[in-house]
Chains A and B, each alone.
Chain A
Amino acid sequence: MEGSIALAAPPRPPGIWRQGWFRFRRNRGGMLGLVLVGLVVLVALTCFLVAPYDPNDQSAMLRGASRQGPSWAHLLGTDRNGYDVLSRVLYGAPTALAVGLGAMLIASILGTIIGGIAGYVGGMVDEVLMRCAEFFLVIPVFIVILAVVRLFGIMVVGTALERVPHLNLMTIIALLGLFGWPPIARMARAEFLRLKQADFVEAAICIGATRRDILLRHILPNALPSLIVLVALGIGGAILAETMVSFLGFGDPKAVSWGQLLYFNYESLKVAPWGSVAPGVAIFVTVLGFNLLADGLTDAFNPRLRQ
Chain B
Amino acid sequence: MAPPLLSVEGLQVQFHTRDGIVRAVDGVDYSVGRGETLGIVGESGSGKTVSSLALLRLVPPPARIAAGRVMFEGEDLLAKPERELGAIRGRRIAMVFQNPATSLNPIYSIGSQLGEILRWHEKLDRAAAEARILSLLDLVGITDPATRLRQYPHELSGGMKQRIGIARALLCNPALLLADEPTTALDVTIQAQILDLLADLRQRLGMAMVLVTHDMGVVARMADRITVMYAGRVCETASAATLFSAPRHPYTRALLESMPRIDHRYTGPRQLLPTIAGRPPGLLNPPAGCRFAARCPEAMAECRTTLPVETVVAPGHSVSCIRHGSQGIAA
Contact = CB atoms under 8 A, between A and B. Distances in A.
A202 B58 contact: yes
B89 interface: yes
Nearest to A203: B103
A10 B150 contact: yes
Interface string A1-31: 1000110001011111000000000000000
Interface in B64-102: 86-91, 94-95, 97-99, 102
A218 interface: yes
A206 B102 contact: no
A202 B99 CA distance: 12
A222 B60 contact: no
Interface in A82-104: none
Interface string B94-118: 1101110011111101000000110
Contact of B146 (A6, A198, A218): A6
Give the bracket for the number of chain A residues in contact with chain B: 20 to 34
A10 B61 CA distance: 43
A14 to B, nearest CB: 8
Given A12-B150, A207-B94, A200 B89 contact: no
Contact of A16 (B86, B88, B106): B106
Contact of B103 (A12, A13, A202, A208): A202
Contact of A13 (B56, B89, B152, B168): B152
Contacts of B109: 13, 15
Contacts, number: 86
A61 interface: no
B192 interface: no
Given A203-B97, A206-B89, A13 B105 contact: no
A258 B93 CA distance: 63
B300 interface: no
Contact of A210 (B61, B86, B104, B147): B86
Interface residues of B, number: 40
B58 A206 contact: yes
Given A16-B107, A199-B99, A207 B138 contact: no
Contacts of B144: 5
Interface in A208-252: 208-210, 213, 217-218, 221-222
A51 B25 CA distance: 74
Contacts of B86: 208-210
Contacts of A109: none
A14 B152 CA distance: 8
30 contacts: A6-B146, A10-B146, A12-B150, A13-B109, A13-B151, A13-B155, A15-B107, A15-B109, A16-B106, A198-B102, A200-B103, A200-B106, A202-B97, A203-B95, A203-B97, A203-B103, A203-B104, A206-B56, A206-B95, A207-B89, A207-B90, A207-B117, A207-B120, A208-B91, A209-B86, A210-B86, A213-B116, A213-B120, A217-B116, A221-B107
